[in-house]
Amino acid sequence: MNVGVIGGAGTVGASVAFNVAMSGLAKRIVLVDLKENVAMSHVMDIEQAVCEQKAVSLEVGDYGLLKDCQVVVVAVGAPERQVGSRDDYLALNIDIIRSLAPKLVASCPNAIFITISNPLDALNYTLYKLTGLRPEQFIGYSRNDSVRFKWAIGRALGVTPHVIGAIVMGEHGDKQVPLFSQVTVEGRKLDLDLEHKETINGLIRTWFLEWQKLDSGRTTGWTSGTGMIHLLRAIAEKSRETIPCSVVLQGQYGLSDLCLGVPVRLCKTGVKEIVQLDLTEQEKEALNSAATKVRSVIAKCMM
């Protein structure tokens, strides 16, 4: 597999490149960024960091180098700053997506595109519409929401998160939908009481604001970089792992013409299957509310 990273000089892009190199899933990694010197510094560092363990080629260049990439990660975006919502990045990032679309069609029209830039759901859908390529090729990386759900459950229950099964659907943002009906611990369904649910929801809802208060100027590079390996492994190795991703819906869950986070199975051509879960009425209402919100952001992208 060859992997391209657009925005390879940034926190997320560099972390993705490092984690992919360490995983051994890619033979070649291409970093594309306006800051070529910074991208090259990452390449020089990563190739030595992994040279004793993995054989992988890393290079920096323009969009033409993406022509042989099976997967292209779109991690480019406006610089991290204090914001109240991920939607605050829309004005700058939509212009980047608009300029990016024709370049991707020209250089790598058969690739799978994994978008990380925010607001994730709307930008992933807009990139799909602007390119005119197959919907299965477009994946929004929203796995971090489910990781944070597991982390919050673990904190509330005093359980290590690696034995917890949990998934978040909906928007990668304020309208995320944590599925309490699907939570498991060591493979067994767990019925959480109202007090625990309120504690967990509190941890989830305040996490982004607490992160913003730090004003660190960086985004969640480590979580996104390690989580990306789950997607790439599913693509490369025909894994049947169910992964939460923001994808183009075409009637699933009664929704169409937008991207939302849902459980999917991936393959070498992109989205193989959107998994239909049995949701509670409350979860269905929350998912529909998320769809309404995302559609309003998509409408701004299409102006």
Question: Do 285 and 296 belong together in one domain?
Answer: yes
Q: What is the mean pLDDT of the chain?
A: 94
Tens digits of residue pLDDT in 266-296: 999 999 999 999 999 999 999 999 999 999 9
Q: What is the per-residue pLDDT for 82?
A: 62
Same domain, 290 and 152: yes
- Which residue, 91, 108, 140, sits at the end of a domain? 140
Task: State percent of the chain over pLDDT 70.
Answer: 98
84: confidence class by pLDDT, cuts 50, 70, 90: low
Last residue of one domain, picked from the residues 140, 165, 184 = 140
The verdict on 136 and 204 lying in the same domain is no
Catalytic residue among 42, 172, 196, 230: 172
Tell which phi-psi region holds residue 105, choosing left (phi > 0), alpha (psi between -120 and 50) or beta: alpha
Catalytic, 162? Answer no
Which pLDDT score is estimated for 87? Answer: 77
Query: What is the percentage of the chain residues whose pLDDT exceeds 90?
Result: 84
For residue 100, give every residue at least 6 positions away whose Cβ sits within 8 Å of its Cβ, in sequence order, or none. 6, 74, 76, 127
Same domain, 81 and 101: yes
Return the CATH number at 120.
3.40.50.720
Question: Tens digits of per-residue pLDDT, 171-190?
Answer: 999 999 999 999 999 999 99
Shared domain check, 7 and 133: yes
Residues 133 and 215 in one domain: no
Q: What is the DSSP letter of 86?
A: G
Cα dihedral 269/275/281/282 (nearest 10): -60
- Based on the fold, state whether residues 41 and 79 are members of the same structural domain: yes
160 shares a domain with 294: yes
Q: Which residues span the domain enclosing 239? A: 143-301
CA-to-CA distance for 251 and 291, rounded, in angstroms?
12
As for how many domains the chain has, the answer is 2
Which pLDDT score, from 0 to 100, does residue 109 have?
A: 98
Residues 149, 285 share a domain: yes
Same domain, 282 and 221: yes
Q: Which stretches of 105-225 are assigned E, i.e. beta strand?
A: 112-115, 138-140, 164-165, 168-170, 176-178, 184-185, 188-189
- Considering the domain architecture, whether residues 100 and 187 belong to the same structural domain is answered as no
